[in-house]
Chain A
C-alpha cells in the first residue's frame, strides 16, 4: 500500500500542477502579509483564500486526477491487490500531496507573520478542508463514469458548499426570523465543512464580537472544549464518510 501511495505522490509531483499550486499559495500569502501592515487584516484576506480557493483547487484537482488515473487503476486491479487498498492509497496520495502543498504555501507565511492562535486554527482548518474536499472528489469521481459530467458535479458541489448553502441559510434565517433559530443554526453548520471551519476560525479572530450577544450561542457551543472537539469530530466525519462511501462504490464497480 505504501508503495502505491509513494507512486501516486511521485506522479502528482511530476505533473507539476501541485507545485504550481504551492507556488501560487506561497506567492499570494506572502504578498498579503507584506502588503498589509497589520497581520489581523492579512489573516482576514487569507481567510477568504482558505475558504474559497483551497476547496476549489482541492476538489477539482482530485476529481481530474482520479479520472486520469483510470488506466493505472485498471492495471492495479488486475494485480493481486485488495481494491480497498488501491483506492485508499490513491486517496492518501492525493490528501498528503494537497496538505503538503497547503502547509508549504500558506503554512510557512502564517508561521512567519502570524504565529498566533488564530493563525494556527486557520492552518488546521485549511489542512482539514484540503482533505475533506479530496474525499468528496473521490466520491463524485467514482459515482460518475463520464469525466466531463464528474468534473461538472465537482464544481457544482464546490459552488454549493461555498455559496448556495450559505444563501439558503440566510434565506431560512429571514423567513423564520420570529423563531429561535440559534440552536438549529449550530446544527445546520455541521452540514457544511466550510462553514464549520469558518466559525472555528471566527471564534479566534473576532473573539471580542463573539463575546457579545450576537455571538453568544456560538461561543457557548463552539467556544467550549467539548464544542470544539465535536466540531473537529464532525470535520473528520466529513473526511471519513465520503471516503468510506467511495470505497464501497469502488469495491462493487465494474471498471
Chain B
C-alpha cells in the first residue's frame, strides 16, 4: 500500500513538472513568436518552426525556453531592436537573428538581456546587428556557441559583438565573432569567464575590458583585429592560454594593458603582431611562460609600469625584444629565453653567465627617429648594436635579464 502511494505521489509530481510546449510556425495555429510568448506560462517551451519572422521589438517577459527548430530567422528590418529579455531564467537557442536597427542614441541589439538572472543564449546565429548580444545588469548568464558577425566599417557607426555592462558572473563560451567594433566588450563586469571564443577581423578590439575586475579569459583566439585586445582600468584579470596573432597596423598590438594591476598573463602565445604586449601604467603583473614569436616588438614597457615580473618566457624571432621610453626600470626580467642572446654558459647549468640586455640601441634610435628604420639590419646598425651591448651607454642600465636561459622553454 505504501508502495502504491509512493508511486502515485511520484506520478503526480512528474505530471505537475511537465511543462507545456507551444508550437509556433507557418503551419501551426500560432504564427507569430510574440503570440506564442503571450500564451506561454513560466516554465513552458515555445518551439518555433523554420521560416522568416519579421517581428521587431520581441520581448521575452516570461521564464521560458524559446527554441528555434532549423534556425528560424527573426528579422529586425534594420529599424528595431530584435529580441529583449526582461525576466530571469530564460533560454534562447537555435535562432538566426538579423538586421537590428542602428542608432547613435539607442543601443539596439540582436538579443538584449535586461536586469535578468540565469539567462542562457546558445547556438544562435546573429548577423548584421548593431550590437550582437547585449547584457545590462545581467547576472549568471551563459552566452554559448553563438556565431556573431556584422559588417562594421568605422568605429563610430558600429556596435560590439557581445557587450556586457554592469553584469556579474557571466560565462561567455565558444562564440565566434567578426566584423563588429569590438568582438567582446566588458564594462563594469565582475567575476566572469570568457573562454574558447574566436574573435577576428573586428574594427577595433578583439576583446575590450573597461573597469572590469576579477575576470578571467582563457583559451581564446584573437587575430587580425584592428588593434588587438585591450585591458584597461581593471584589476585581478587572469589571461591564460590565449592566442594573439597577426594584429598588424600602425598602432596595433596583441595585448594592451593600460592602468591595470594584480593580474596574470600566463601561457599565452603572441605571434606576428606589430607589438606583442604594450604596457602603460600597469603594476604588479606576472608575465610567465608566454611565447613571443616573430613580433615587430615583443614587449613595450613604458617607464610608468612597476613590479611587472617577466619570468620564463620565450622570445623567438622578434624584430625587437623589448622597448621602453625612459631609463627608469621598476620591473624584473628573470629566466627568459632570448634567441638573440650571445652569452656563454661555462658551468653548464642552462643559465647564461652574462646578463642579456633586451633593449637594443637601434630600437631606441628608431623610436626617436622613425625613418632610421631604413638602415635597420645594415652593417652600420649591427655595428652600433654590438658596441652598445658591450658598453651600455644609452640603453637603460637596469633593464636586463640576469639569468637568461640557453635553451628555449618547452611551452
Chain A CB within 10 Å, residue with most, of B273, B369, B374, B375: B374
Residue contact B374 to A218, C-beta cutoff 8 Å: yes
Residue contact A173 to B296, C-beta cutoff 8 Å: no
Return A148 CB to nearest CB of chain B, in Å: 26
Complex CA gap A170/B319 in Å reads 20
Interface pick from A19-27, A40-48, A65-73, A85-93 = A40-48
Residue contact A169 to B375, C-beta cutoff 8 Å: yes
Complex CA gap A214/B274 in Å reads 10
Complex CA gap A216/B248 in Å reads 11
Residue contact B375 to A202, C-beta cutoff 8 Å: no
Residue contact B380 to A167, C-beta cutoff 8 Å: yes
Complex CA gap A37/B316 in Å reads 11
Complex CA gap A189/B371 in Å reads 12
Give the chain B neighbours of A218 by CB distance below 8 A.
373-374
Q: A207-B272, A210-B296 are in contact. Are A173 and B378 (CB under 8 A)?
A: no
B250 at the interface (CB under 8 A from A): yes
A185 at the interface (CB under 8 A from B): yes
Residue contact B374 to A208, C-beta cutoff 8 Å: no
B26 at the interface (CB under 8 A from A): no
B259 at the interface (CB under 8 A from A): no
The residues in A between 34 and 92 inclusive whose CB is less than 8 angstroms from any CB of B are 37-38, 40-41, 44, 47-48, 51-52
Give the chain B neighbours of A44 by CB distance below 8 A.
377
Residue contact A208 to B248, C-beta cutoff 8 Å: yes
Residue contact A212 to B275, C-beta cutoff 8 Å: yes
Partner of A173, one of B294, B320, B369: B369
Residue contact A208 to B319, C-beta cutoff 8 Å: yes
Q: A38-B317, A47-B377 are in contact. Are A208 and B273 (CB under 8 A)?
A: yes
Residue contact A212 to B296, C-beta cutoff 8 Å: yes
Query: Size range of the interface on A?
Result: 35 or more
Give the chain A neighbours of B370 by CB distance below 8 A.
182, 213-214
B252 at the interface (CB under 8 A from A): yes
Return B342 CB to nearest CB of chain A, in Å: 11
Complex CA gap A199/B378 in Å reads 9
Binary contact readout A176-207 vs B (1 if CB under 8 angstroms, 0 otherwise): 01000110011001000011001100100111
Residue contact A189 to B251, C-beta cutoff 8 Å: no
Complex CA gap A213/B380 in Å reads 22
Complex CA gap A169/B275 in Å reads 27
Chain A CB within 10 Å, residue with most, of B252, B366, B371: B371
Residue of A nearest to B298 (CB): A208
B332 at the interface (CB under 8 A from A): no
A241 at the interface (CB under 8 A from B): no
Chain A CB within 10 Å, residue with most, of B296, B369, B373, B379: B373
Q: A189-B374, A208-B294 are in contact. Are A162 and B274 (CB under 8 A)?
A: no
Q: A38-B316, A208-B294, A208-B319 are in contact. Are A198 and B249 (CB under 8 A)?
A: no
Residue contact A209 to B319, C-beta cutoff 8 Å: yes
Query: Size range of the interface on B?
Result: 35 or more
B295 at the interface (CB under 8 A from A): yes
Give the chain B neighbours of A205 by CB distance below 8 A.
377
Give the chain B neighbours of A209 by CB distance below 8 A.
274, 295-297, 319-320, 373
Give the chain B neighbours of A114 by CB distance below 8 A.
none
Complex CA gap A205/B294 in Å reads 9
Return A194 CB to nearest CB of chain B, in Å: 8
Q: A51-B379, A209-B296, A213-B251 are in contact. Are A195 and B374 (CB under 8 A)?
A: yes
Give the chain B neighbours of A207 by CB distance below 8 A.
272
Partner of A212, one of B250, B272, B317, B368: B250
Give the chain A neighbours of B317 by CB distance below 8 A.
38, 40-41
Complex CA gap A169/B378 in Å reads 12
A96 at the interface (CB under 8 A from B): no
Give the chain B neighbours of A186 by CB distance below 8 A.
374
Return A253 CB to nearest CB of chain B, in Å: 34
Residue contact A217 to B316, C-beta cutoff 8 Å: no
Complex CA gap A195/B376 in Å reads 10
Q: A38-B339, A189-B374, A210-B296 are in contact. Are A174 and B369 (CB under 8 A)?
A: yes
Binary contact readout B218-250 vs A (1 if CB under 8 angstroms, 0 otherwise): 000000000000000000000000000000111
B382 at the interface (CB under 8 A from A): yes
Give the chain A neighbours of B376 by CB distance below 8 A.
202, 206
Residue contact A198 to B377, C-beta cutoff 8 Å: yes
Residue contact A208 to B369, C-beta cutoff 8 Å: no
B372 at the interface (CB under 8 A from A): yes
Residue contact A216 to B250, C-beta cutoff 8 Å: yes
Residue contact A170 to B372, C-beta cutoff 8 Å: yes
Binary contact readout B280-303 vs A (1 if CB under 8 angstroms, 0 otherwise): 000000000000001111000000
Give the chain B neighbours of A189 by CB distance below 8 A.
374
A124 at the interface (CB under 8 A from B): no
Residue contact B373 to A214, C-beta cutoff 8 Å: yes
Return A161 CB to nearest CB of chain B, in Å: 10
Residue contact A208 to B373, C-beta cutoff 8 Å: no
Return B278 CB to nearest CB of chain A, in Å: 11
Residue contact A199 to B274, C-beta cutoff 8 Å: no
Give the chain A neighbours of B373 by CB distance below 8 A.
209-210, 214-215, 218
Return B77 CB to nearest CB of chain A, in Å: 40
Complex CA gap A17/B60 in Å reads 85
A155 at the interface (CB under 8 A from B): no
The residues in B between 36 and 69 inclusive whose CB is less than 8 angstroms from any CB of A are none
Residue contact A162 to B379, C-beta cutoff 8 Å: yes
Give the chain B neighbours of A195 by CB distance below 8 A.
374-375, 378
The 5 A-B pairs at the shortest CB distance, nearest first, are namely A209-B296, A209-B319, A166-B380, A211-B248, A208-B296
**Can you add 10 more A-B contacts, CB < 8 Å, to A194-B378, A195-B378, A208-B296?**
A48-B382, A166-B380, A169-B374, A182-B371, A185-B371, A199-B374, A208-B272, A208-B273, A211-B250, A212-B249
* A-B contact list, 9 entries, CB within 8 Å: A182-B370, A195-B375, A202-B376, A208-B272, A209-B295, A211-B250, A211-B296, A212-B275, A214-B370
**What is the interface of chain A, defined by CB distance below 8 A to chain B?**
37-38, 40-41, 44, 47-48, 51-52, 162-163, 166-167, 169-170, 173-174, 177, 181-182, 185-186, 189, 194-195, 198-199, 202, 205-218
